[in-house]
Structure 1
Amino acid sequence: MRRQQIYHIAAMLLLSTSAAIHASHPDPASEDQAHAKPRPPKTTLGVGVTLDESGRLWLAKVENQQLLVARSDDEGKSFSNPVVVTSEPENISADGENRPKIAVARDGTVLLTWIQSLPQKYSGNVRFARSTDSGRTFSKPVTLNDDGRITSHRFDSLAIDGAGRVVVAWLDARDRDAAREQGGEFAGVSVYIAQSNDNGASFGANRRFQAHTCECCRIALAWTQEGPVVFWRNIFGVNTRDFAIANLDKGGMRRATDDEWRIDACPHNGGGIATDRQGQLHLVWFTNGAVRQGLFYKRLGGDWESQPLPIGDPAAQANHASVAAEGKTVLLTWREFDGSSYSAQMMYSNDSGVSWSGPQRLMESAGATDYPIPLIDGNKVLLVWNTAMEGLRVLPFDRLTAGKPSDKSSAKHAADKTGG
């Protein structure tokens, strides 16, 4: 695939605001759950970020068993004082494949989902809150899974159309548990969804979208011109764990990868998806299959698809990629480890994925890190990377070229600047 220099991308950040909520499902808390022995909190480097239509950067992070939200008007150089979303402490998942999700609608409503880890092994609830006053206050959190079971409801994904429709998808073990209670077998878990047509003021009943999916690979959602599209690691045949894709409104599951990764375990390695102006879908994923191994990218359009493009250095454990697209610009980010430090890597295209820059090593950290997250809207490009040693690092780009980023992109901002 040919490589070319990529054109100028000007600046402009995203944001809007937020505030109250009623959801149609009460919390399924039980006496057992309330009195179970609490589990120690996990690491909380996984953050949620988004840009709003005003160009502001929004951040959702977990500290001291509380979910906090802050925003930045200056590309992450400084943040507002964080607002507490969870008034009661919760053991919240924020560790890479499980992280808080944040989105901002056109009217400024701020929407959040996250996973509340329960004391029972692998169990959790999908939680939701929103703000309608520019993030100054948030509604009381509610639980979206409506089955009342203490089981695995995890690895959520959030997508909005910006005009009032909200979709939340997650991996759910209720069908597996029910089958086993009847003495039956059930491979994997299921994808369940909850939908709202009023910016999260209320949600309809849960709906099972797909049964027999991988147990702990994150789900990815993207909103296209034809509605929400979900990308997940499915179980094909007996135990082939390749990716599938489908429109949540229309159904019609399509096998998206043919790597033939046969494994009787969950890889704990989900994929990423984004859509561009032409309606193409851009996919990134990891595999260790019989056909190919490593990190890959490809694009889908109608009935055709490109050949998988290898990404990163397999010897450096290139892994956990994300993708973002706007217009004809597509960004790929991932993490590598060279034996002594982690690095945030990036490639980009300005022709909808036809040609690509070479990989760029943008940042390094010797301690524990989150996965790098790309953000793009209009002409604004940001890379967000949370690290244990240096804190939250935000890299803004005025220009993407085949060489080094502009001087402005050397910015590095610590997490304590969020006011947390």
Structure 2
Amino acid sequence: MNQRIVFSMFAAALVWAGAAVAHDGASHPPAANSMAKMWQERQEQAPRLAVAAAFDEQGRLWLARVVGRHLQVSHSDDAGTSFSAPRTVNPVAELISADGEARPRIAVAGGRVHVSWTQALPQPFAGHVRYARSDDDGQSFTTPETVNDDRQPITHRFNAMLADAKGVTLAWIDKRDGQGRKDYRGAAIYTARRDNGEAAFSNRKLADHSCECCRLAMAVDEQGQPLVFWRHIFGKNTRDFALAGVHAPVAGEPLRASEDGWQIDACPHHGGDLAVDGRGGRHLAWFTGAAASPGLHYRRIDGERMTPPRAFGDLDRQPGHPALVAAGEQIWLVWREFDGERNRIVGQYSADRGEHWSPAAEIASDPGAVDDPVLLRGRGATWLLWNTAGRGLQIRKLAP
């Protein structure tokens, strides 16, 4: 079958799924009860496969995962061969989103373990961004708190997080500014920062008119400042990607990081990824359903120069959900594909900042339900983490 026909069917399915999560429950009052029931059932019954992981400065691997209505954290001193007994972060049970786009986060810096997650509220597509911290090597955690200072039962979801020795920075998708405004496009990107010793998070809007439910990516630039990469609504309804630093709130439209021209009146539920190399180059990977160039694409941004988008992935195998990691001039890029029988993780490697790439090769596969791939740097190497329903958490060291 023709690749573009197969991919068009795949993209259409993504848009249909995204349309269901592109609005807050308040947008559909006649169907509020049935929609709320569907929302709750989806959160409760969907496989809880989305995990978060991070290496600390000593090479210990930290893992956060959702079990029932609790977030649990454990660690491994042997790169994932064995893990400690898990510690529960939230002693009071709450419904936690744990799918590919809305997933828990963990970061370790300066001897502190930071975790964040999205608490799913009873109202359809509503949530709060939650946070807790451990100051005693993961033995106990602070009382969970809500990061967003707007407490309406609407979308405050799809959290991302970075930590450094001085504190923690979060970003999320927030619909507070569009309430009661039919002319408001999409949602907004909000951020919050708290330095060590401060009592509360300070919320700040980064940009208006983000897409409503594509995961965010964050990375630190060469000056140590956090960057956010997200799907944005340009013009009336063109959903391409944007990039901005959290300390420079956007006036007007942010830097347009992709020019695919994908015009859809729904959220595709398909975020991208971001990594920064040793020279400060921004490496981007994303998905588009634009008819002229469907599928996955990669580019590098050096200052004001952008490389042309490079397509990757097999369109006959529904490529999606890319992940990136950079170390010096070395770049790893992985993504998911489905061959009709098995989910596959496929990867490529570049030793020269994305100028040249190794051939795409399968790294892992599984016939059952799976999470999106997670890439990490630690112990002087790059690691792939992939959670599966059948075989559990898979951890693999990648070699060029």
Distance 1:378 1:83 in 2: 24
- 2:221 pairs with 1:224: yes
Query: What secondary structure does 1:315 align onto?
Result: helix
Contact kept, 8 Å, 1:101 with 1:157, in 2: the verdict is yes
Which residue does 2:204 correspond to in 1? Answer: 207
Which deviates the most, 364-373 or 247-256?
A: 247-256
Shift of 1:384: 0.3
Structure 1: runs of 5+ lacking an equivalent? 1-35, 401-420
Q: Which one-letter code corresponds to 2:102 in the other structure?
A: N
Distance 1:173 1:299 in 2: 30
Which residue does 1:174 correspond to in 2? Answer: 176
Distance 1:271 1:240 in 2: 16
Which residue, 71, 77, 83 being the options, matches 1:79? 83
Q: Which one-letter code corresponds to 1:187 in the other structure?
A: R
Q: Which one-letter code corresponds to 1:393 in the other structure?
A: Q
Shift of 1:188: 0.4
Shift of 1:115: 0.2
Identity %, equivalent residues: 43
Query: What secondary structure does 1:242 align onto?
Result: strand
Structure 2: runs of 5+ lacking an equivalent? 1-35
Which residue does 1:330 correspond to in 2? Answer: 331
Which residue does 2:101 correspond to in 1? Answer: 97
Give TM-score, length-normalised by structure 2.
0.86
Which residue does 2:58 correspond to in 1? Answer: 54
Q: Which one-letter code corresponds to 2:72 in the other structure?
A: L
Shift of 1:316: 0.4
Shift of 1:359: 1.2
Q: Which one-letter code corresponds to 1:189 in the other structure?
A: A
Shift of 1:49: 0.8
Shift of 1:346: 1.2
Distance 2:354 2:100 in 1: 26
Shift of 1:344: 1.2
Which residue does 1:409 correspond to in 2? Answer: none
* Higher fraction of helix: 2
Which deviates the most, 138-147 or 251-260?
A: 251-260
Query: Which is bigger in relative contact order (C-alpha 8 A, separation at least 6)?
Result: 1
Q: Which one-letter code corresponds to 1:153 in the other structure?
A: H
Which residue, 143, 146, 157 being the options, matches 2:146? 143
Shift of 1:338: 0.4
Query: What secondary structure does 1:175 align onto?
Result: helix
Which residue does 1:189 correspond to in 2? Answer: 187
Question: For residues 272 and 202 of structure 1, do their structure 2 counterparts lie closer, same or farther at Cα, with a shift above 3 Å needed?
Answer: farther
Contact kept, 8 Å, 2:347 with 2:361, in 1: the verdict is yes
**Cα deviation code 1:382-417 (max 9, x no counterpart):** 1100000110000123x32xxxxxxxxxxxxxxxxx
Q: Which one-letter code corresponds to 1:359 in the other structure?
A: A
Alignment size in residue pairs: 357
Shift of 1:83: 0.6
Q: Calculate the aligned-residue CA RMSD, in Å.
A: 1.6
Distance 1:113 1:204 in 2: 13
Contact kept, 8 Å, 1:258 with 1:291, in 2: the verdict is no
Contact kept, 8 Å, 2:194 with 2:202, in 1: the verdict is no
Structure 1 segments (4+ residues) deviating >2 Å: 36-40, 201-205, 250-253
Distance 2:74 2:334 in 1: 23
Distance 1:324 1:243 in 2: 18
Shift of 1:39: 2.3
Contact kept, 8 Å, 1:241 with 1:260, in 2: the verdict is yes
> Pairwise mapping of residues 61-76 of structure 1 onto structure 2 (< 5 A)?
61-76=65-80
Distance 2:155 2:237 in 1: 20
**Cα deviation code 1:127-185 (max 9, x no counterpart):** 0000011111111100001112111111111012x2213211100111111x33xxx42
Contact kept, 8 Å, 1:326 with 1:378, in 2: the verdict is no
Which residue does 1:108 correspond to in 2? Answer: 111
Distance 1:251 1:124 in 2: 23
**Cα deviation code 1:99-120 (max 9, x no counterpart):** 1000001x21000110000111
Give TM-score, length-normalised by structure 1.
0.82
